[in-house]
Amino acid sequence: MTRQPLPAASTPRCSILLAASLLALTLPRHASAATITVNTFAQGSVPGFCSFAEAIASINAGADTGGCVATGPGYGTNDTIILPFGTYPFTVADNGANGLPIITTSVTINGNGSTLARSGALAFRFFEVTGGSLTLNSLTLTGGNPGAGNDGGAVLDSSIGTLTITSCTFAGNTAQEGGAIFMSGSGGDLTVTSSTFTNNRATATGDADGGAIEADNASVTVTGSTFTNNRATSSAGDANGGGHRGGLWWGQRGRQ
């Protein structure tokens, strides 16, 4: 009698699907990230071009805005804005005391040595962060001033995220508290590396703090950075004896 070969064993389809599902659960998930390259130095909208303000608005919305077109797999948890080298003049506020849209989600801004320069009579800072984290790389911010009673001459961060400053220069910025940077988000983290702070002023009436930086209830790490001629001034007769820390003032969790 001729023996017939046994049929090849088969794996039920449901087992294959289950195995694939288990494998998917074990693989790491990679968050999407978009990159937007600004292509105009203009502060406002220019038809057919992507301004800095529109790039921030696009990342906040998770969708292309104005003339901005993102590259990459899609908007995600930490997108990037690229500024071509040059000077970006600011003469009017975008909203309130801010020259740019308020940042509400995490973003990295690569300045490539560019300068953000406020000029004119109108008072405003450059950045306000209320959500997510902000990373600034290779950027100069000069002349920021949000006006009387407002903190953070160049950057105001009230989020509980991370503010990371690398290879940046803050020069000639003025505010009530935190002449260049004011970080008020309790539990946030401020990291400053290889940066320069010069001629920034905190000018609050009575008792001014942090001529360059004030960080309240935040962790502060400063490495390889220079602070020159920053001042925290106060009015005559202040019971506390004047302004505190022309360079850096922090509360509770600071380390330098």
Mean pLDDT, range 167-184, rounded to an integer = 95
Single-letter amino acid, residue 66:
G
Closest CA to 208 of 183, 235, 230: 235
More confident residue, 220 or 116: 116
Interval 97-114: pLDDT, tens: 999 999 999 999 999 999
Q: Which token pair is 204? A: 């609050």
Instruction: Calculate mean pLDDT across residues 67-78.
Output: 94
What percent of the chain stands above pLDDT 70? 78
Q: Which of 98, 85, 78, 2 is nearest to 33 (CA)?
A: 78
Mean pLDDT of 14-19: 35
Comparison of pLDDT for 219 and 11, the residue scoring more: 219
Using 50, 70 and 90 to split pLDDT, how confident is the model at 250?
Answer: low
Average pLDDT (220-233) is 93
Residue pLDDT, tens place only, 206-223:
677 788 999 887 889 999
Beta strand residue intervals within 91-238, DSSP E: 107-118, 127-129, 134-142, 155-157, 162-166, 169-171, 174-175, 181-183, 189-193, 196-198, 201-202, 213-215, 219-223, 226-228, 231-232
Cα separation, 74 vs 251, whole angstroms: 38
In this predicted structure, what is the pLDDT of residue 1?
A: 44
Could you tell me the pTM of the whole model? Answer: 0.83
Buried b (16+ CB within 10 A) or exposed e, 70-87: beeeebbebbbbbbeeee
Confidence of residue 249 (pLDDT cuts 50, 70, 90): low
Phi and psi torsions of 10, nearest 5°: -120, 150
DSSP 145-171: B--TT---SSEEE-SSSEEEEES-EEE
Of 124, 118, 86, nearest to 102 by C-alpha is 124
